[in-house]
C-alpha cells in the first residue's frame, strides 16, 4: 500500500470576508488589486482576531529602516499623540460606554518578504489558479482558488466558491489565508486608525514586546488594562481591507512591482482623501523623473556605513518635513527632501535664465515642455545612453522602469556625486555631521529608545512627543493619580534630557566650528568662558542661512551654472576637470567658512548676521543686520528659495577657479551681479530716505542724493571687505556713473 505525501500547509492566518477588485497605477500602466474586506475586533474571546492583531503592525515596526532601500520607504511616522489623545477616546466613548464609533477601512497590503530576510520582495512567488480550497465546505463542489507558492511553502491563498454559473462568488465563504513567515501585513492607509486599535489590544494583552514597539509604548500608558476592560471590547469592530496583487508574481514581465504598486495605492488613497505632506508626495511619486533622482541620491546616503570616510548620513536629511515647512525642524538635519528636490529641478531644468541676483522666475514643477526636458536630456546625455528612438519617447512624467534606472545612474554619475561631495566637504556641513554622530553615540550609551527615536527615527517624532506631553499635562494636571503623576514625571524628565542633548549638540558643533582658531581665548568673556552670545550668533547662522533651500541651491546650482558655460563634458578627459574645479571651489569657500582667527570669525558673523566689533568676548558689540551685512546690502527682503541667486553672488565673490575660461565667466557674472546689487541698494536707500523725510524722490536735491550714494557705497565696501578682505573691485567713479 502506498501513500501520497501531502505537506502541511504554512497558511496559519485565516480571514473570512467579501472579495473585490480595483486598479492601481497611472494612465495605461495599471495592475489589478484583489482584496478581502473583513473586520477586526478586540473581542477577547476571538482567537482569529487575536491572530490578525498579532500580525498587523505599522510599517515602522515591520521593516527596519537600515535594512531597506530608499525606494522601499513609504509611510513611517505616526502621530502617536493624536492616536492616544483623539482616536482612542473616539473609540472608547467615555461619555457613553456602550457607544461604538466607526472608522473607514484600514487598507493593508500583503507584502512578501525576501527569503530569510525581513525585507519586502518585489514580486510574489509564482501565483497559480487551482480548484482545491484550503478547506472544503459542504454543498460547494466548485472552487476558484488563487495560490502563491508551492504546497507547504505558500505565501497566500485566496479561496472563492463558484455557486452559480462560472463566476466566483464574492460574498459567500470567501477566505484569504496567509503565511506570516513569508509575508507581512503592511498598512498602506489608516496607520493612525490601526494604531489606536493595536494600542488597546497590546495594553490588554501585554503585546509591546520588541525594541521597535517599546519606543512608542509610553504614548499609550495612560490607557491601563483595568480602564480599557470597563468597556465592551467585543463590540469594537473596525473594517479592514487586505490587498493582494496576484499578477505581480515571479513570471511578471512588465514595469510594475509590489513596491511601486504600494506607493501607487498609498498616493491614490491619500491624494483623494485628505492631503498628505508635499514631502511625502515628492518621495513617492513614480511619475516624475525628478523624484526618481531624489530617491536615488537619498538611497546613496542611506546605504552608508562605518567604513565611509565622511560623516554625512541619512539622519542629516529631514525626510518628513512637518506641515510642509521649508525651514528645518530636526536637530540632526542640515538639509531636507524639499531642499534636494528643489536643487535637482533647478540643476536639470535650468534654461540659462539666471540673471545676476534677480529671483528665479516661474514654477519649476510645471516645467514639462520639450524645451525644458530637452535641457535635462542634454545634461544627462540621454540620446547616447538610451538611443535616439527611446530618447524621443520619454518625458518628465513618462518613462519605463528600465529608462528610469539608466537615467538615475546618469544623474548619479554626472551630478549626484558632486552634490554629495559639496555636502560632505563644506566645513559647516561637515562639522554638523560629525557632531550628530557624537550625539548618536552618546544617546546609544543611555539605551533610551524613546530619546533615540526622537532624534533619529523621523523628524515628526519629536513633534509628536511634545504634543503628547502637552496633552497629558493639560488632561491630568488637576486630577492625576499617583501612577499618572509618575508617568508625567517620566515624560517631563525625558523632555528635559532631550533639551539638554540639543544644547550639548549645538555646543559641540560650535566648538568644532572654532577648532581652527589660533586665538580662541579672544572668544572668552570676563569670566574666562566663551561668550554665549557668540555661540547663539553662530547657531542662528546655521538655522537661518546655511541650512536654507536658498543657500544650498546657490551653493550647488551656482557652481554648475558656471561650469556648464565652459564645459558640457563631466568626465576626466574634459578640458576643464569637474573634480578638480569642484575641489578647488570648496577649498576657496572653506577659507571663509572655516575661520582661523578671531578677526575672521568676526567677519563671518558680520556678513551673515550683523556687525561684530571689539577686541575679545568681554567687550564684543553686535549690530543685528548692520548696514554692511548681507541682509542689508544684498537681500533686504525675507529670504525665499527663489532668491538663491543672491547667495550665489556671495559665493562668486569667494571663488577663484583654476580654469582661465571659468574665471572669465565668473568675472562677467560678477560684473552683472555687482551692478544689480549696488543699484538695488542705492534705490532702496533713496526710498527709505524720502519716506523718512516725507518727500517725493523728484524733490530730492543733489546733496541728498550724494548722501545716499555715499552711505550705499560705504555699506557695499564694508560688506566686501568682510567677505573677501578686498575692495579692489569697487571703483567709486564707476558706481557714480552707474546710478
Residues 495 and 609 in one domain: no
Last residue of a domain, one of 488, 513, 538: 513
- Flag whether 10 is in a domain: no
- Residue of higher predicted confidence among 267 and 296: 296
Q: Which three cell numbers stand for residue 81?
A: 499623540
As a whole number of angstroms, the distance between CA 105 and CA 273 comes to 13
Q: Which three cell numbers stand for residue 416?
A: 549626484
Residues 438 and 487 in one domain: yes
Q: Which of 112-116, 477-481, 547-551, 718-722 has the lowest mean pLDDT?
A: 477-481
Instruction: With CA atoms as reference, report the closest residue to 468 among 448, 452, 446, 450.
Output: 450
* Total domains in the fold of the chain: 4
b/e string for 288-314 if b means 16 or more Cβ within 10 A?
bbbbbbbbbbbbbbbeeeeeeeebbbb
Q: Which three cell numbers stand for residue 562?
A: 558656471
Helix (H, G, I), strand (E, B) or coil at 215: helix
pLDDT exceeds 70 at position 418: yes
Q: Could you tell me the CA-to-CA distances from 554 to 145, 354, 472, 608 in Å, in that order?
A: 59, 11, 44, 15
Q: What pLDDT sits at residue 510?
A: 97
pLDDT exceeds 50 at position 659: yes
Locate cell 567604513: which residue?
307
Residues 527 and 592 in one domain: yes
- Flag whether 130 is in a domain: no
- Flag whether 172 is in a domain: no
Q: What percent of the chain has pLDDT over 90?
A: 49
Last residue of a domain, one of 275, 299, 323: 275
Beta bridge partners, 426, equal none
pLDDT band at 276 (very low <50, low <70, confident <90, very high): low
Q: Which three cell numbers stand for residue 695?
A: 518727500
- pTM for the full model? 0.78
pLDDT exceeds 50 at position 98: no
Strands 183-189 and 237-244: unpaired
Average pLDDT over residues 289-295: 93
Say if CB 187 and CB 266 are below 8 A apart: no
Average pLDDT over residues 62-86: 70
Residues 628 and 668 in one domain: yes
Summary mean pLDDT of the chain: 87
Residues 92 and 221 in one domain: yes
Q: Which of 160-174, 331-345, 698-712, 714-728 has the lowest mean pLDDT?
A: 160-174
Q: What is the 3-state secondary structure (H, E, C) of 365-417?
A: HHCCCHHHHHHHHHHHCHHHHHCHHHHCCCCCCCCCHHHHHHHHHHHHHHHHH
| pLDDT tens-place string over residues 353-389 | 789 999 987 777 767 777 788 889 999 999 999 999 9
Q: Which three cell numbers stand for residue 183?
A: 509575508
Last residue of a domain, one of 235, 256, 275: 275
As a whole number of angstroms, the distance between CA 569 and CA 587 comes to 22
**Continuous segment of H or E residues that includes residue 737:** helix 732-738
Q: Which of 52-56, 283-287, 612-616 has the lowest mean pLDDT?
A: 283-287
Residues 347 and 252 in one domain: no
Q: What pLDDT sits at residue 131?
A: 86
pLDDT exceeds 50 at position 99: no
- Flag whether 174 is in a domain: no
Say if CB 726 and CB 670 are below 8 A apart: no
pLDDT exceeds 90 at position 61: no
As a whole number of angstroms, the distance between CA 276 and CA 716 comes to 45
Say if CB 518 and CB 599 are below 8 A apart: no
- Flag whether 143 is in a domain: no
Residues 406 and 351 in one domain: yes
Say if CB 246 and CB 34 are below 8 A apart: yes
pLDDT band at 127 (very low <50, low <70, confident <90, very high): very high
| pLDDT tens-place string over residues 605-640 | 999 999 999 999 999 999 999 999 999 999 998 889
Helix (H, G, I), strand (E, B) or coil at 57: strand
Residues 268 and 290 in one domain: no
Q: What pLDDT sits at residue 499?
A: 93
Average pLDDT over residues 101-117: 83
- Flag whether 625 is in a domain: yes
As a whole number of angstroms, the distance between CA 407 and CA 414 comes to 10
Q: What pLDDT sits at residue 734?
A: 93
pLDDT exceeds 50 at position 274: no
Residues 417 and 439 in one domain: no
- Flag whether 152 is in a domain: no
Q: What pLDDT sits at residue 713?
A: 95
Quote the domain boundaries for residue 107. 31-122+180-275
Residues 454 and 392 in one domain: no
- Flag whether 476 is in a domain: yes
Residues 558 and 690 in one domain: yes
Residues 572 and 441 in one domain: no
Amino acid at each position: 500500500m502506498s501513500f501520497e505525501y501531502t505537506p502541511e500547509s504554512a497558511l496559519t492566518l485565516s480571514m473570512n470576508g467579501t472579495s473585490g477588485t480595483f486598479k492601481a497605477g497611472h494612465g495605461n500602466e495599471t495592475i489589478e488589486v484583489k482584496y478581502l474586506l473583513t473586520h477586526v475586533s478586540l473581542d477577547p474571546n476571538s482567537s482569529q482576531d487575536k491572530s490578525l492583531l498579532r500580525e498587523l503592525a505599522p510599517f515602522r515596526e515591520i521593516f527596519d529602516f537600515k535594512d531597506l532601500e530608499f525606494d522601499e520607504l513609504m509611510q513611517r511616522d505616526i502621530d502617536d499623540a493624536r492616536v492616544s489623545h483623539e482616536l482612542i477616546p473616539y473609540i472608547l466613548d467615555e461619555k457613553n460606554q456602550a457607544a461604538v464609533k466607526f472608522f473607514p477601512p484600514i487598507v493593508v497590503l500583503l507584502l512578501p518578504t525576501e527569503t530569510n530576510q525581513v525585507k519586502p520582495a518585489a514580486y510574489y512567488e509564482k501565483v497559480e489558479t487551482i480548484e482545491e480550497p484550503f478547506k472544503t465546505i459542504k454543498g460547494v463542489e466548485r472552487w476558484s482558488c488563487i495560490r502563491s507558492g508551492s504546497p507547504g511553502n505558500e505565501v497566500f491563498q485566496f479561496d472563492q466558491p463558484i455557486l452559480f454559473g462560472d463566476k466566483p462568488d464574492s460574498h459567500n465563504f470567501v477566505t484569504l489565508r496567509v503565511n506570516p513567515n513569508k509575508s507581512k501585513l503592511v498598512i498602506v492607509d489608516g496607520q493612525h486608525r490601526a494604531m489606536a486599535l493595536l494600542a488597546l489590544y497590546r495594553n490588554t494583552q501585554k503585546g509591546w514586546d520588541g525594541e521597535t514597539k517599546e519606543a512608542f509604548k509610553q504614548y499609550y500608558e495612560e490607557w491601563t488594562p483595568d480602564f480599557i476592560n470597563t468597556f465592551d471590547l467585543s463590540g469594537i469592530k473596525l473594517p479592514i481591507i487586505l490587498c493582494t496583487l496576484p499578477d505581480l508574481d515571479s513570471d511578471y514581465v512588465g514595469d510594475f512591482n509590489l513596491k511601486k504598486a504600494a506607493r501607487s495605492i498609498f498616493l491614490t488613497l491619500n491624494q483623494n482623501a485628505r492631503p498628505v505632506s508635499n514631502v511625502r508626495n515628492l518621495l513617492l511619486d513614480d511619475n516624475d523623473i525628478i523624484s526618481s533622482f531624489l530617491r536615488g541620491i537619498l538611497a546613496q546616503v542611506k546605504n552608508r556605513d562605518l567604513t565611509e570616510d565622511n560623516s554625512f548620513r541619512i539622519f542629516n536629511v529631514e525626510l518628513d518635513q512637518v506641515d510642509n515647512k521649508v525651514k528645518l525642524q530636526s536637530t540632526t538635519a542640515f538639509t531636507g527632501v524639499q531642499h534636494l528636490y528643489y536643487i535637482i529641478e533647478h540643476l536639470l531644468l535650468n534654461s540659462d535664465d539666471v540673471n545676476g541676483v534677480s529671483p528665479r522666475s516661474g514654477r519649476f514643477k510645471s516645467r514639462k515642455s520639450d524645451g525644458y526636458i530637452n535641457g535635462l536630456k542634454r545634461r544627462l546625455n540621454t540620446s547616447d545612453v538610451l538611443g535616439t528612438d527611446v530618447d524621443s519617447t520619454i518625458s518628465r512624467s513618462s518613462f519605463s522602469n528600465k529608462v528610469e534606472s539608466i537615467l538615475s545612474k546618469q544623474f548619479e554619475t554626472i551630478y549626484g556625486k558632486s552634490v554629495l561631495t559639496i555636502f560632505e566637504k563644506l566645513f559647516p556641513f561637515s562639522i554638523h555631521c560629525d557632531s550628530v554622530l557624537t550625539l548618536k553615540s552618546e544617546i546609544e550609551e543611555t539605551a533610551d529608545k524613546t530619546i533615540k527615536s526622537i532624534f533619529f527615527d523621523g523628524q515628526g517624532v519629536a513633534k509628536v512627543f511634545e504634543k503628547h506631553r502637552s496633552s497629558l499635562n493639560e488632561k491630568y494636571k488637576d486630577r492625576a493619580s499617583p501612577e499618572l503623576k509618575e508617568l508625567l514625571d517620566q515624560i517631563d524628565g525625558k523632555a528635559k534630557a532631550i533639551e539638554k542633548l540639543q544644547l550639548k549638540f549645538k555646543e559641540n558643533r560650535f566648538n568644532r566650528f572654532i577648532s581652527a582658531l589660533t586665538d580662541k581665548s579672544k572668544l572668552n568673556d570676563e569670566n574666562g568662558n566663551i561668550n554665549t552670545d557668540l555661540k547663539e550668533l553662530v547657531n542662528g547662522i546655521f538655522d537661518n542661512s546655511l541650512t536654507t533651500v536658498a543657500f544650498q541651491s546657490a551653493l550647488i546650482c551656482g557652481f554648475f551654472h558656471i561650469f556648464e558655460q565652459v564645459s558640457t563634458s563631466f568626465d576626466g578627459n574634459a578640458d576643464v576637470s569637474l573634480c578638480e574645479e569642484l575641489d578647488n571651489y570648496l577649498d576657496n569657500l572653506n577659507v571663509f567658512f572655516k575661520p582661523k582667527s578671531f578677526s575672521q570669525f568676526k567677519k563671518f558673523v558680520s556678513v551673515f548676521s550683523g556687525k561684530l566689533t571689539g577686541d575679545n568676548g568681554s567687550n564684543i558689540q553686535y549690530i543685528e543686520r548692520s548696514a554692511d551685512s548681507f541682509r542689508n546690502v544684498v537681500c533686504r527682503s525675507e529670504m525665499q528659495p527663489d532668491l538663491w541667486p543672491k547667495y550665489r553672488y556671495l559665493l562668486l565673490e569667494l571663488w577663484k577657479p583654476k580654469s582661465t575660461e571659468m574665471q572669465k565667466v565668473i568675472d562677467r557674472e560678477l560684473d552683472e551681479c555687482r551692478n544689480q546689487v549696488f543699484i538695488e541698494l542705492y534705490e532702496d536707500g533713496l526710498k527709505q530716505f524720502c519716506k523718512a523725510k516725507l518727500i517725493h524722490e523728484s524733490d530730492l536735491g543733489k546733496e541728498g542724493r550724494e548722501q545716499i550714494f555715499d552711505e550705499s557705497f560705504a555699506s557695499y565696501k564694508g560688506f566686501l571687505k568682510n567677505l573677501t578682505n578686498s575692495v579692489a573691485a569697487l571703483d567709486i567713479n564707476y558706481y557714480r556713473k552707474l546710478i
